[in-house]
Chain A
């Protein structure tokens, strides 16, 4: 449908690729269930098969093939009222996902207590472009909360980081 909202939706969102990836997931899940005993395969097999059909319909509705408009009308596949109305660049998205990965890497590497102030301060300073004072304050507040609530009040030892924990990855 060519109304204003749909036209607003970025090409990446309305292209067939998201649906193709999901079709791949569904097919992989269905193939995996073939190896299970009948009782164990019954439900996941049914769901995976249903998902294959739905993903195919999803792909169809995104094309200009005949019938696509009908699928869109009955399946409700329009892109009106999207949750995310802004359209960031790919690099920007990669950067944000990278920040989350960094948060995890820091927690795993140097432990939660050290990671909290480092990550928060770094994010506020580097991505938020705030002054060092603000960044430091945010970092210290988070550290203070973690120490006060978990380490003191609840007497719980937060993760200390891979090099400082016995068992390494196996202890995860």
Chain B
């Protein structure tokens, strides 16, 4: 049944006016992706009322177009302005921005586009493979595995902030404290709210991240002056003017296919776990690539693998996040939640039998995601020649535009001016972190994971009646995760043992 439905969905896209909706979705997804503060979730939330008048299938094409294009759009601003367009692109800034400053933005965008498209395809292909066993996959991830996955993410923080471990851990603590703010779900108590009911639901993710990454970066850029790709310390002026390298970027993805594959697998798996999302997937993919690479010392200074790893994970997670959806009709991500909402709005009741009852819509979405991922990347490559010019524009023009658009984006998400205020505050905090050299990404990862970690450990304690360790050891996936956590911690130490002369010095 699967292949027939898939073919049918493909043909219907190519035939009708559906392609128009898909392309509108792609354009909107790219635009919303590029602008910090606006993302796929906002785009879909705004589109829901609009899709009310469309046929369910056209609504799927529109939604799929948006979902497939946003994360690549977000990588563009991550590379060119060191400002992730959407949260999951944060890891892309590590090596993407140094490349842009070296005048190799074209290389980075080419690699990002290719990694996004291929990562998306691998994710969807994995989804198709997993559809028959989707139920088992979802059922094998319980509270215990959730908890261990968050610990794996936190462990990766500790080892990936090379040279800045102590300040990275301090930032992680702040992130955890921010995550605990609000009404504690399992007791109902409110914490750190200072009596503001705005904080009952916790600190909202999108405003916090937009402030920490976009606004703070704009303050830093405004202070630096000039343009992005004009580093005063850099002498090779002629080198900078080259906008080529897009082709090399595309090729580099094929050259580093193991990185692509690893990123896509991590993206699919993390995507399949509801609540973890693209930020964690991209970060884990980056940190595991950086840790195991032979040239790991060049990561953070413009290593192309540091762009391929997060971007492939980022797009593969869309396929992964549909695994819980086809298994039980539950969302694996904020975007799939809104996709299900569109089905509900059209009078369908998604449930465990969604694949039987809504086959057309599900395959429609898969096709839309596929076409969208590819066309967004092709579009990006075609436009890259113009996009890299952004790095040559006076920052005094870029800064006000990005500030205004991202603050507007934050407002639009929930229609709350309080969110905009929070963004500004987080922007100032983020700037202080840049200034005083505290890594922002560790704060963000801890912030994203903190609440899930606390919640799932609480659940494991109740479920296991206090025998947490024994309970975990009885679950195969938990055991695998525990081993992975140990390896994450031990790998750097083992390396140090093998190379005793290198101790201490980060280069």
List chain A positions with a Cβ less than 8 A from chain B: 9, 13, 18-19, 22, 25-26, 29, 32-33, 36-37, 39-40, 43-44, 47-48, 50-51, 54-55, 57-58, 61, 71, 73-86, 88, 92-93, 96-97, 99-101, 103-104, 107-108, 112, 115-116, 119-120, 122-124, 127-130, 134, 138, 141-142, 145-146, 149-150, 154-156, 158-159, 171-172
Asked whether, in the complex, the Cβ of B401 is within 8 Å of the Cβ of A100, the reply is no
Task: Please name 18 further chain A to chain B contacts, defined as beta carbons within 8 Å, in addition to the given A77-B165, A81-B506, A100-B218, sorted by A numbering.
Answer: A22-B170, A37-B189, A43-B450, A48-B177, A54-B170, A76-B162, A76-B506, A78-B506, A104-B421, A108-B417, A112-B411, A119-B403, A123-B396, A128-B396, A146-B408, A155-B50, A156-B46, A158-B412
Contacts of B218 in A (CB 8 A): 100
Q: Does B389 contact A (CB under 8 A)?
A: no
- B145-170 vs A, Cβ < 8 Å mask (1 yes, 0 no): 00000000000000001111111111
Asked whether, in the complex, the Cβ of A13 is within 8 Å of the Cβ of B223, the reply is no
Asked whether, in the complex, the Cβ of A104 is within 8 Å of the Cβ of B424, the reply is yes
- Ranked 7 nearest A-B pairs via Cβ: A128-B396, A75-B166, A123-B400, A51-B173, A76-B165, A172-B417, A120-B400
Asked whether, in the complex, the Cβ of A77 is within 8 Å of the Cβ of B192, the reply is no
| Complex interface: stretch among B7-15, B73-81, B304-312, B431-439 | B431-439
Q: Does B484 contact A (CB under 8 A)?
A: no
Contacts of B192 in A (CB 8 A): 29, 32, 44
- B366-402 vs A, Cβ < 8 Å mask (1 yes, 0 no): 0000000000000000000000000000101101110
List chain B positions with a Cβ less than 8 A from chain A: 31, 46-47, 49-50, 161-170, 173-174, 176-177, 180, 184, 186-187, 189, 191-192, 198, 215, 218-220, 222-224, 233, 300, 394, 396-397, 399-401, 403-405, 407-408, 411-412, 415-418, 420-421, 424, 427-428, 431-432, 434-439, 450, 453-454, 458, 504, 506
* Cβ-defined partner of B412 (8 Å) among A54, A86, A156: A156
Asked whether, in the complex, the Cβ of A96 is within 8 Å of the Cβ of B412, the reply is no
* Cβ-defined partner of A115 (8 Å) among B165, B180, B404: B404
B98 CB, nearest partner CB in chain A, Å: 10
B399 CB, nearest partner CB in chain A, Å: 7
Asked whether, in the complex, the Cβ of B173 is within 8 Å of the Cβ of A47, the reply is yes
Asked whether, in the complex, the Cβ of A116 is within 8 Å of the Cβ of B170, the reply is no
Asked whether, in the complex, the Cβ of B400 is within 8 Å of the Cβ of A124, the reply is yes
Contacts of B450 in A (CB 8 A): 43
Contacts of A54 in B (CB 8 A): 166, 169-170, 173
Asked whether, in the complex, the Cβ of B170 is within 8 Å of the Cβ of A58, the reply is yes
In this complex, the member of B224, B400, B431 whose beta carbon has the largest number of chain A beta carbons within 10 angstroms is B400
Give Cα distance in the complex from A168 to B412, angstroms.
18
Contacts of B418 in A (CB 8 A): 172
B496 CB, nearest partner CB in chain A, Å: 12
Contacts of A48 in B (CB 8 A): 173, 177
Asked whether, in the complex, the Cβ of A96 is within 8 Å of the Cβ of B161, the reply is no
Contacts of B50 in A (CB 8 A): 154-155
Give Cα distance in the complex from A84 to B223, angstroms.
10
* Cβ-defined partner of A158 (8 Å) among B161, B164, B411: B411
Give Cα distance in the complex from A158 to B410, angstroms.
11
Asked whether, in the complex, the Cβ of A150 is within 8 Å of the Cβ of B408, the reply is yes
Give Cα distance in the complex from A36 to B215, angstroms.
34
Assuming A40-B191, A44-B192, A123-B400, is B166 touching A76 (CB within 8 A)? yes
Give Cα distance in the complex from A149 to B43, angstroms.
11
Give Cα distance in the complex from A119 to B47, angstroms.
28
Contacts of B403 in A (CB 8 A): 99-100, 103, 119
Contacts of B435 in A (CB 8 A): 13, 84, 93
Asked whether, in the complex, the Cβ of B174 is within 8 Å of the Cβ of A51, the reply is yes
* Cβ-defined partner of B219 (8 Å) among A36, A97, A107, A141: A97
Asked whether, in the complex, the Cβ of B177 is within 8 Å of the Cβ of A29, the reply is yes
Give Cα distance in the complex from A61 to B164, angstroms.
12
Asked whether, in the complex, the Cβ of A119 is within 8 Å of the Cβ of B404, the reply is yes
Asked whether, in the complex, the Cβ of B401 is within 8 Å of the Cβ of A120, the reply is yes
B293 CB, nearest partner CB in chain A, Å: 17
A37 CB, nearest partner CB in chain B, Å: 6
Pairs across A and B, CB under 8 Å, 26 listed: A29-B192, A32-B192, A37-B187, A43-B450, A48-B173, A54-B169, A55-B170, A77-B166, A86-B224, A93-B435, A99-B403, A103-B400, A103-B404, A103-B424, A104-B407, A104-B421, A107-B407, A107-B411, A107-B417, A112-B411, A116-B404, A122-B400, A123-B400, A142-B400, A142-B405, A156-B46
Contacts of A33 in B (CB 8 A): 191
B175 CB, nearest partner CB in chain A, Å: 9
Give Cα distance in the complex from A44 to B321, angstroms.
30
Asked whether, in the complex, the Cβ of B437 is within 8 Å of the Cβ of A76, the reply is no
Using CB atoms, name the residue of chain B closest to A80. Answer: B163
Asked whether, in the complex, the Cβ of A93 is within 8 Å of the Cβ of B223, the reply is yes
B207 CB, nearest partner CB in chain A, Å: 12
Contacts of A122 in B (CB 8 A): 400
Using CB atoms, name the residue of chain A closest to B165. Answer: A76
Contacts of A29 in B (CB 8 A): 177, 192
Contacts of B421 in A (CB 8 A): 104, 172
Asked whether, in the complex, the Cβ of B223 is within 8 Å of the Cβ of A100, the reply is no
